[in-house]
Amino acid sequence: MKNTYAMLSDDKKFDFVEEDFHVNGSPIVKVTNVGVCGTDMAWWKSGSQHKGIILGHEFSGVVTDPGISRLSVGDRVTGYTQNVKNEFCGHCERCRAGDFEHCTNREVKTWKGGEINHPGAYSQYTTWFPGSFYVLPETVSNEEGALVEPMTVSLHAVLLTGIRPGDKVLVLGGGIIGCGAAEWARYFGAETVAITEIVPEKIEIIKKFQCADHVIKADAPDLFEQYEEISNGGFDVVIDCCGVGAAVNVALVHAFKKDVRARKCFTSIALTKADFPISYNDVVLKEITWKGSKGHFPSEFAMVLRLIGANRLNVKKYITKRIAFKDIQAGFEELLKEQGTPGKAMIIVM
């Protein structure tokens, strides 16, 4: 079987290479859709630092060979980013010799598409650990299936925060994770949800998603006044989905209620490009509870898939750009010029 994939090569470029696709035991999936994650863009921009990695962890496709698994040919699937059941990989030296018990590639240090040993789905075909595939219900399209992963990142953060009915929530950053966090905050009963976004062209589009009550320009001259008015005296929860020092510190200083007895929770999802100083005294004196949120759990992944299938979660509205597989390089260059896209850019492989 020939496999064409997009591999990070020289600075900010993808190479398309054909070679035999070897697999022993693991399912083979013909990729149909892959979401472009902000991490994918960042690694592409960094160039040769991540040379040789095949990106893509938000994906869906069709099973062409079930290998040793419960799957069937023709099943439409999406994949979890980790090795959920600690299974053998099917393609390391031990597995290819038939010694699955001593597979040397069970551990996923980052995620599928985050390391050379676990190539991602920027590819015509991909494979993964059998127990980490989820079959898509008939009511879930392949495009929607590729959105399960980012929406689960947002869900995990909201569950970790413990959103309560009546909470007033501020989300920093209007990308797909920020919009997802806003949507989940509403789902769990938040009274007021606001999103900040720095790119003017994105604000009106985010408003059309209807995932938040307010979308605020992050550098508005009256930002503090808007915080006060929208929250009626201060937010209960801030969820950071941008990782920008200025935005984080502005929220720490100005977004929360002044009453020291009031609930004040700050949850960070975004990874930063570099460390930055924080307004530490505000964390202490305002008694802010600060949590970090990383990834998600398989049960949360299954919950998102189930809610999409039951038509209780509309994710397709977030697809704002579609890129043909053969045009990945040009598509990424466009995204760079546009400072990304609100919602989700989706690669169409077939």
Q: Report the CATH number at residue 83.
A: 3.90.180.10
Looking at the structure, do residues 160 and 283 belong to the same domain, yes or no? yes
Count structural domains, the chain: 2
CATH number for the domain harbouring residue 166? 3.40.50.720
Q: What is the pLDDT of residue 21?
A: 56
In the beta sheet, which residues pair with residue 256?
A: 235
Could you tell me the residue range of the domain that residue 92 belongs to? Answer: 2-147+315-348
Classify residue 224: in a domain, yes or no.
yes
| Under 8 Å between Cβ of 170 and 231 | yes
Residue 134 sits in the same domain as residue 16: yes
Shared-domain flag, residues 139 and 169:
no
Residue 112 lies in a domain: yes
Q: Is 2 left (phi over 0), alpha (psi -120 to 50) or beta?
A: beta
Both 137 and 214 in a single domain?
A: no
The pLDDT, as a whole number, for residue 231 is 96
Q: Both 33 and 143 in a single domain?
A: yes
Q: Are residues 249 and 134 in the same domain?
A: no
Residues 11 and 117 in one domain: yes
- Residue 338, domain member (yes or no): yes
CB 161 within 8 A of CB 184: no
**Are 154 and 174 contacting, i.e. CB atoms less than 8 angstroms apart?**
no
Q: Is 209 left (phi over 0), alpha (psi -120 to 50) or beta?
A: alpha
Cα 286 from Cα 213, distance rounded (Å): 26
- Percentage above 90 pLDDT, the chain: 84
pLDDT attached to residue 23: 63
Tokens of 271: 């990874």
Q: How many residues can be counted in the chain?
A: 350
What is the structure's pLDDT at 68?
A: 85
Q: Which residues of the chain have a pLDDT value below 70?
A: 1, 18-24
DSSP secondary structure, 286-302, as one string: TT-EEEE--S--HHHHH
The candidate with the shortest Cα–Cα distance to 268, out of 244, 240, 296, is 240
Radius of gyration of the chain (CA): 21
**Alpha carbon 347 to chain centroid distance?**
14
Same domain, yes or no: 182 and 103: no
Do both 22 and 156 map to the same domain? no
Q: Are residues 38 and 91 in the same domain?
A: yes
Q: 305 in a domain, yes or no? A: no
Q: Tell whether 22 and 114 lie within a shared domain.
A: yes
Q: What is the pLDDT of residue 336?
A: 93
Same domain for 245 and 325, yes or no, is no
Q: What pLDDT does residue 91 have?
A: 82
Q: What pTM, to 2 d.p., does this model score?
A: 0.95
Angle 115-118-124 (CA atoms, 0-180°, nearest 5)? 110
Domain presence at residue 24:
yes
Nearest-angstrom CA–CA distance, 170 and 227? 9
Report if residue 304 sits inside a domain.
no
Task: Please give the structure tokens belonging to residue 309.
Answer: 């299938």
Q: Determine how β-strand 133-135 pairs with β-strand 76-79.
A: antiparallel
Give pLDDT tens digits for 301-342. Answer: 999 999 999 999 999 999 999 999 999 999 999 999 988 888
Asked if residue 301 belongs to a domain, the reply is no
